[in-house]
């Protein structure tokens, strides 16, 4: 458990460190507190028989009427959704017309409804939920004290509700009797509850358990939603997990609200169709969400959202180093990386010039070198934020990575949930050779606090942390001092030497085996066979040390990432 560091800037005393929400607000409101923030409830619906019950429970909420709006997204239901007697006065229906090119699916409708809503807090509610009377209030109170709050309610799954009517649900919620209809402690326990138990209600999770943020009854402040990547309306399953990931990258704080109770009318989808859902979703999740790491079960390939975005800045005077620097990054054993190569590319023209005498020709060569490289993007300016990529690493253009460098760096920052890591130069190197790794959720949380009296580094240190580390064991080379290499390989030189030695030993064995061997030759063959085995073992030990992540994944022990 990471303790919250002390901060000298009083303006940062009440920010949440990582996901340690309890340190700021434990859910206990001051005496006489009343909510002031507005809430927009969004309910996606398609041919839902239980929607009237959900609407009735919302109509009976104790949240101030003028602070609540409800948008029912009718995704092409037949017959169309009509509001009955028991609905909140501020309820309206948004009909999605697929035939008019407005798309289809829960994500599409949710996105459209959120864009049309006005609340300070956005609340996703499924059309098969019955909310207890103080549900909205319990969710919303956290946003009043934690601007980045993203809350998750408590669900009790019930199998049958034969005598439910909108009127009965309304009266039961309003009176509080709904709590006695079923014993929540005896109902099916969602898998997320085990995660909450293991992480002190996500207090110790650093946001990694974002997938517990379920769209069935979950909120986020509009402030965080607007600076996130928002809802991916191309998804047709798992969109709630994806928006939770986007919320995490934008600096959201995930908070389970056990007091915000609901009944879920019917079993969880994961219970009835768990394997099919996981098989479908994992493909889409792997493209969009690099964390957790186990989803990307294939290496040496390109993904829509890279695990690491490397930023390298070059110019006319440093272009001669750019290719070696970038190629070193691309040849890393951690291959889930994209490079943003920052340079004055707009100044390169197709006008007549003396190519070989042009002092700026090297930058043209860099441009040509990466013309068809999908993992390199030539940009004029470095972006402030690389979201939804969870990590950014800034690499000085004169730095050459060894094949294992990036993997070693990322294993440290990932396993330690580091916010910012600065690897200071080796002895004799200049201060401008610092390698910096920045965790995107830390930046997303810190940026809103930057002001005339709060620097970015102060904010980053308060919401996550800043670590200064040695680069002695990273295998770095300074291109300005060591010169340019003749070739850059993705394989470590020591491992290549071991493989070469092993191949030579095996060749000698094969030659001896082709002879009618006298005893002495047979003895030599056995000696060489034993020697090759030792070399193979040495190579294996080296590979496990240098490429631990790859080996672990192949052996199926990488589940923790």
| Residues 64-98: tens digit of each pLDDT | 999 999 999 999 999 999 999 999 999 999 999 88
DSSP character at residue 436: E
**Element containing residue 506 per DSSP (H, E):** helix 493-513
Confidence of residue 559 (pLDDT cuts 50, 70, 90): very low
Confidence of residue 234 (pLDDT cuts 50, 70, 90): confident
Task: Decide yes or no: CATH 3.40.50.720 for domain 308-482.
Answer: no
Contact status, residue 223 vs residue 147, Cβ threshold 8 Å:
yes
CA distances from 388 to 78, 115, 240, 250 (A): 37, 20, 15, 8
Q: What is the pLDDT of residue 381?
A: 96
Q: What is the pLDDT of residue 162?
A: 87
Q: What is the pLDDT of residue 554?
A: 43
Q: What is the mean pLDDT of residues 429-451?
A: 90
Cα gap 258→151, rounded to integer Å: 10
Q: What is the pLDDT of residue 445?
A: 97
Strands (E), 75-148: 91-95, 121-125, 129-131
Contact status, residue 392 vs residue 418, Cβ threshold 8 Å:
no
The angle at the Cα of 138, spanning 136 to 144, to the nearest 5 degrees, equals 95
* 551: pLDDT strictly greater than 50: no
* 335: pLDDT strictly greater than 70: yes
Alpha helix positions (H), 377-450: 405-415, 440-446
Give the three-class secondary structure for 188: strand
Q: What is the pLDDT of residue 354?
A: 87
* 366: pLDDT strictly greater than 60: yes
Task: Tell me which of 352 and 547 has the higher pLDDT.
Answer: 352
Q: Which CATH superfamily is domain 35-264 in?
A: Spore Coat Polysaccharide Biosynthesis Protein SpsA; Chain A (3.90.550.10)
Q: What is the mean pLDDT of residues 317-345?
A: 96
Confidence of residue 223 (pLDDT cuts 50, 70, 90): very high
Q: What is the mean pLDDT of residues 280-294?
A: 92
DSSP character at residue 23: G
How many helices (H) and strands (E) the chain has is answered by: 17, 17
Task: Map tokens 């094949």 to a residue.
Answer: 403
* 497: pLDDT strictly greater than 90: no
Instruction: Report residue 101 as tokens.
Output: 């090119």
Tens of pLDDT, residue by residue over 185-219, are 888 888 899 999 999 999 999 999 999 998 789 99
Q: What is the mean pLDDT of residues 389-407?
A: 96
Q: What is the mean pLDDT of residues 429-438?
A: 82
Q: What residues form DSSP beta bridges with 263?
A: 130, 156
Cα gap 229→249, rounded to integer Å: 9
Instruction: Report residue 166 as tokens.
Output: 């909108």
Longest dimension (CA), the chain: 100
Q: What is the pLDDT of residue 555?
A: 45
**Element containing residue 39 per DSSP (H, E):** strand 39-45
Least confident residue range of 153-157, 238-242, 501-505: 501-505
Contact status, residue 241 vs residue 290, Cβ threshold 8 Å:
no
Distant-in-sequence, close-in-space partners of 159: CB < 8 Å, separation ≥ 6: 266, 267
Q: What is the pLDDT of residue 521?
A: 56
The angle at the Cα of 392, spanning 394 to 420, to the nearest 5 degrees, equals 85
CA distances from 432 to 276, 363, 399, 423 (A): 51, 22, 11, 11
- Torsion angles phi and psi, residue 447, rounded to 5: -55, -45
Does 308-482 match 35-264 at the fold level?
Answer: yes
Confidence of residue 560 (pLDDT cuts 50, 70, 90): very low
Confidence of residue 556 (pLDDT cuts 50, 70, 90): very low
What rounded mean pLDDT belongs to the chain?
Answer: 88
Q: What is the pLDDT of residue 520?
A: 56
For helices 239-249 and 106-116, what crossing angle results, to 10°?
Answer: 50
Contact status, residue 378 vs residue 458, Cβ threshold 8 Å:
no
Contact status, residue 144 vs residue 36, Cβ threshold 8 Å:
yes
* 168: pLDDT strictly greater than 60: yes
Cα gap 42→108, rounded to integer Å: 12
Alpha helix positions (H), 234-290: 239-249, 269-288
Contact status, residue 61 vs residue 78, Cβ threshold 8 Å:
no
Domain residue ranges of the chain, discontinuous segments joined by + = 35-264, 308-482, 493-554
Q: How many CB atoms lie within 10 A of CB 511?
A: 11
């Amino acid at each position: 458990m990471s303790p919250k560091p002390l901060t000298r800037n009083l303006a940062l005393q009440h920010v949440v460190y990582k996901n340690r929400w309890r340190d700021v607000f434990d859910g206990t409101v001051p005496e006489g507190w009343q909510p002031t923030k507005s809430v927009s409830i969004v309910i996606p619906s398609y041919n839902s028989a239980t929607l009237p019950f959900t609407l009735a429970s919302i109509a009976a909420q104790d949240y101030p009427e003028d602070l609540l709006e409800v948008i029912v997204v009718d995704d092409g239901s037949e017959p169309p959704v009509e509001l009955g007697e028991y609905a909140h006065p501020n309820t309206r229906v948004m009909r999605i017309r697929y035939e008019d090119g407005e798309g289809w699916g829960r994500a599409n409708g949710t996105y459209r409804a959120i864009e049309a809503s006005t609340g300070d807090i956005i609340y996703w509610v499924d059309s098969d939920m019955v909310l207890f009377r103080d549900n909205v209030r319990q969710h919303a109170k956290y946003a009043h004290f934690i601007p980045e709050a993203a809350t998750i309610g408590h669900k009790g799954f019930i199998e049958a509700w034969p005598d439910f009517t909108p009127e009965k649900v309304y009266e039961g919620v309003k009176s509080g009797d709904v709590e006695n209809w079923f014993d929540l402690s005896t109902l099916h326990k969602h898998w997320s509850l085990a995660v909450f138990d293991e992480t002190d209600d996500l207090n110790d999770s650093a946001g990694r358990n974002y997938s517990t943020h379920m769209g069935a009854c979950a909120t986020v402040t509009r402030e965080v939603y607007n600076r996130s990547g928002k809802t991916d309306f191309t998804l047709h399953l798992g969109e709630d997990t994806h928006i939770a990931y986007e919320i995490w990258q934008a600096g959201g704080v995930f908070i389970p609200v056990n007091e915000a109770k609901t009944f879920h009318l019917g079993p969880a989808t994961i219970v009835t169709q768990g394997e099919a859902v996981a098989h479908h979703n994992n493909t889409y999740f792997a493209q969009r969400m690099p964390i957790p790491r186990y989803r990307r079960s294939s290496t040496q390939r390109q993904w829509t959202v890279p695990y690491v975005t490397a930023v390298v800045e070059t110019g006319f005077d440093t272009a001669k180093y750019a290719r070696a620097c970038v190629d070193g990054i691309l040849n890393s054993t951690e291959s889930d990386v994209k490079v943003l190569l920052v340079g004055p590319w707009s100044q390169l023209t197709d006008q007549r010039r003396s190519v070989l005498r042009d002092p700026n020709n090297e930058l043209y060569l860099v441009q040509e070198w990466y013309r068809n490289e999908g993992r390199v993007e030539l940009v004029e300016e470095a972006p402030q934020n690389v979201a939804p990529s969870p990590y950014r690493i800034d690499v000085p253009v004169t730095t050459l990575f060894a094949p294992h460098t990036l993997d070693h760096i990322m294993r440290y920052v990932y396993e330690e949930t580091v916010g910012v890591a600065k690897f200071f130069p080796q002895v004799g190197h200049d201060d401008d050779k610092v390698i910096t790794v920045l965790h995107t959720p830390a930046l997303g949380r810190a940026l809103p606090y930057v002001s005339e009296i709060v620097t970015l580094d102060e904010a980053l240190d308060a919401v996550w942390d800043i670590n200064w580390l040695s680069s002695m064991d990273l295998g770095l080379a300074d291109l300005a001092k060591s010169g340019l290499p003749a070739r850059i390989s993705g394989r470590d030189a020591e491992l290549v030497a071991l493989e070469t030695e092993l191949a030579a030993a095996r060749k000698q064995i094969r030659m001896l085996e082709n002879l009618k061997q006298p005893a002495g030759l047979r003895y030599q063959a056995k000696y060489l066979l034993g020697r090759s085995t030792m070399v193979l073992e040495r190579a294996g030990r080296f590979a496990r040390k240098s490429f631990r992540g790859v080996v672990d994944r192949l052996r199926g022990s990488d589940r923790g990432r």
